[in-house]
Structure 1
Amino acid sequence: MKTILKSIQSLKKNEWFYYNQTSKNKLKNPFNNDDENNQTLHLNFIKDFFTSGGKLRVLDDLDIEDFKNNDYVKHTNSVYFLGILIFSQWKLNLSKDEFILRLNEREGFDINRFQFMWFLSTLFHDLYYKYEEVEEIKRLKEQNIFTYSDLERYFYINYTIEEDFNENPIPEILSDNISNYVIWKLEKRGKYDHGIIAGMKLFDELKKNRIEVYQNRYENLGLNWESKLDIQYYYCAQIIKAHNIWFNPGKDQNYADYGMEGLEINPNIKFQEYPFYYLFCLIDTIDPVKALKNEIPNVNDILDSILIEISKDSLILKNDKLEETQFDNIKKKCFGLKEWLDIMVSATETTINISIPKL
């Protein structure tokens, strides 16, 4: 077994960089650097990745200064690389017609499709976290932003849905309740949902960018700007919108008062039915950087403290250097997955075993 850090560092560039063949950008793995804890390094990784794909526009209304002290950036990059590691094995559980975009069978079994969509989804998913902070919440409330439609107006959203989209990447009970969840979270938690905002922004900006480049025939650097990309953009946006919506089987959050009875269950979501959403939620939840960033300031120290072993349907995490209480924190998050995913989790004092049940 190798540590998570060593596993990430051992990835070849073509395994994690979708634009490796087309970009002149000398993008480097941020976890494979002498200055491994440099916040700017992790920020630039995200910025340069989008730049390599001709998609820097999607970051235009984000102030980089907002992220100077935001450790979610390092969590974001950790999630990205963990997903690359895990899916390389777990994809073996999927047949070709189940692979990420089942609707688009003519594309076949394409691992590059996963790289592309994983990059768009994970590297963008927490970039609007500031809208759950006091100053931004106050500012938006003063401008009467209280509903999903209000958010669309505030962020000048032109593209809200992909008409040709016929494959829901998330359970219908989630997609049906996104608008209601905005109202519930603001009234009951006093916050806007960063995932919902990020999702609506991602699709709108990606589609605007694609249309502008395609219509004006800008230098495309060998990139594809055909309209069929909109389906993939929308898929990623829906994943991001849903990633922070919580199910409530305990029925103690007044969901029914907001028309969200459908979320008051344990949906037992299966990897084979919603592979992208399943993987996203799993890794976003158990990421050691997210769990321990307030206790261990150096992100590489966190990832170098846990051993990892991945097979085609399981994942083993083994404590190597963490304090017992720190590893217990990760265990708790792993067992919490059972509240909405069809997953098997077991643990000993020093190990965590996670596996996908067979259909």
Structure 2
Amino acid sequence: MRDKLLEIKEIALDRIEKISELEEVEQLRVKYLGKKGDLTSVLRDMGKLAAEERPIIGQVANEIRDELEDAIASVKGKLTEELKRNRINKEKIDITMTTNKKKLGHKHPLLATIEELEDLFISMGFSVVVGPEIETVENNFDALNSPENHPSRDLSDTFYITDDIVLRTHTSPVQIRAMKEMGAPLRIVSAGRTFRFDDVDDTHSPMFHQLEGLVIDENINMANLIHTLDIFIKELFGDDMKTRYRPHHFPFTEPSAEVDVTCLKCRGKGCTACNFTGWSMELLGCGMVHPKVLENCGIDSEKYSGFAFGMGIDRITMVKYGINDIRLLFENDNRFLEQF
């Protein structure tokens, strides 16, 4: 039996040395050391040995078992480490490799225009404030002196969520909130998305962007308004730009006006873009804050006065970049966006 055990040992060690795959390790362990393995099968016959031989053969068997287990553990460790190294080499990333440059995005022309406008007004002493896009009817209409029969309050013009909650139709509610919370004096601008029912075409969209400004202080008059807007327009479009004020009506300002600017294409000389008038389309609306609006916000209209103005950022963006269709601003077509 001793000779049989030594023979099993030599054959097993020889096979273990030749193992090249991790899966073979377990197969050999089962073959020689498992419950039905070769070594176990031989030891089952120990009962046939003389009593004095059993301890000797048992010791030899234990030594062979320990030697085979050590050999199997050793080769398993080597193969596992080799497999790990191969996997690391295969999966590692060479950070020194040159690759094709990734295309990086950039600011959308609308966002770029908003930031440019905000920075411009900040340089003029204004603060930027923001407000919610879902507003109360009180802030969106009532506090702004809009009568209940005003067309803008109709279901055909405004997105109502409930009878008292709407998607804001302009950014003016931000001014109402600011006056109620901060009082006077005040000098702010606010920009953001607004919503109105509208048929989609090259100049109209049910979602658009506005920027509005508000100045409240003592002894504010129309001359202050005109001077502020003239500075703004020259800073935005150039020193040669001229402005034209036309009387208009807004329920929240009195007097009110619409403002035209020199045609950006011909700089006032007259061309097909401006129908040879030298003036571009209306750029913004403005006026002196109605005393009732001040009173609605808790501001003494006898002591304070103010002016407000509002403009469509989409329109300014279109004029600034020569875009002829507002839908291009919202379609996310990279062929269009990469031009800016």
| TM-score computed with the length of structure 1 as normaliser | 0.26
* More contact order relative to length (CA 8 Å, sep ≥ 6): 1
Task: Decide which structure has the larger Cα Rg and report it.
Answer: 2
Of Structure 1 and Structure 2, which has the larger fraction of its residues in strand? Answer: 2
